[in-house]
Amino acid sequence: MEQKLKGQIAIVTGASSGIGAGCARELAKAGATVIVNYPVPGGKAMADAVVNDIIQNGGMAISHKCDVSREEEVLEMFETVIGQFGTVDILVNNAGLQKDAPFTEMTLEQWNFVLGVNLTGQFLCAREAVKEFLRRGDTGKSKSIGKIICMSSVHEVIPWAGHANYAASKGGVMLMMKTIAQEFAPKKIRINSIAPGAIATPINHDAWDTQAHLQELLKLIPQKRVGQVDDIGKAAVWLASDDSDYVNGTTLFVDGGMTLYPGFEDNG
Ligand code: BGC
């Protein structure tokens, strides 16, 4: 396989499981050295398993703990990575979580927790990445001096009852991404989002764990299959590579058609 990201340093946040782990694996296959970020001490074993897997497949990776919602930890992560590898070329702003509740029962803590990781976390990491891209400038490794991929969701456009905090965070990611893409496109920085649909990961386990749940879920997916993490990882490689050099400030929906109003398939 051609290594389109050879020699590039990529931080993937929330990469100890799920979509983040899938992105880490695919970026490493494409030749990037990957920093597999995980948020809490208990996540180290899972992050190290992703790292070992990458190394066994001939790639390069290390794990690094950092809660992306905490500014001092984000600053420390970038300082450590830049100290060890010289720079950062790619950021996959992936870390995200759900704390679902009916709206009238949603606590401020649940609201702040989700917004803190999903939106503030993406802001803090993107800000540090952009600062580093500008400091370091052109290296000739890529047509852009840096690339950021924000992990959004189909819920940046699909309202989601019972998930107001999550949907608000992803709507926020959409306009933050577009705004900073506009601000830094003249500096040769590309910033885009991926909006996954239902990808089989721990975050939505309840939606596909039984045949009955799976059949319900498939009604929302015209392509009639649940996505896999490498569907997203491959999209991340494309957005990080020069193959997508003219793509900037856009959201790539990787959702098996979930945003195509599936209720109208045989109706309306
Ligand atoms: C959510 C998943 C959900 C999917 C489709 C994602 O952003 O995290 O829980 O299955 O959207 O609704």
User: Is residue 265 in a domain?
Assistant: no
Residues 228-233 have a mean pLDDT of 98
| Ligand 1 atom with the shortest distance to the CA of 195 | 7
166 is catalytic: yes
User: Is residue 95 in a domain?
Assistant: yes
| Ligand 1 atom with the shortest distance to the CA of 258 | 5
User: Is residue 148 in a domain?
Assistant: yes
Residues 243-266 have a mean pLDDT of 96
Residue 197 CA to ligand 1 center (angstroms) comes to 6
For ligand 1, atom 3, name the residue with the nearest CA: 198
Q: In terms of pTM, does the model score above 0.95?
A: yes
Residues 244-249 have a mean pLDDT of 98
Assess whether the C-beta atom of 98 lies below 6 angstroms from ligand 1.
yes
User: Is residue 79 in a domain?
Assistant: yes
User: Is residue 263 in a domain?
Assistant: no
For ligand 1, atom 2, name the residue with the nearest CA: 204
Burial 40-56 (b: 16+ CB within 10 A, else e): eeebeebbbebbebbee
| Ligand 1 atom with the shortest distance to the CA of 170 | 7
- The tally of domains found in the chain comes to 1
| 3-class secondary-structure state, position 68 | coil
Assess whether the C-beta atom of 226 lies below 6 angstroms from ligand 1.
no
User: Is residue 63 in a domain?
Assistant: yes
Looking up residue 144, the CATH number of its domain turns out to be 3.40.50.720
User: Is residue 46 in a domain?
Assistant: yes
User: Is residue 267 in a domain?
Assistant: no
**Could you tell me the pLDDT band of residue 1, with boundaries at 50, 70 and 90?**
low
**Could you tell me the pLDDT band of residue 117, with boundaries at 50, 70 and 90?**
very high
**Residue 25 pLDDT exceeds 80:** yes
Give the percent of the chain with pLDDT over 70: 99
Domain with 152, as residue range(s), is: 9-257
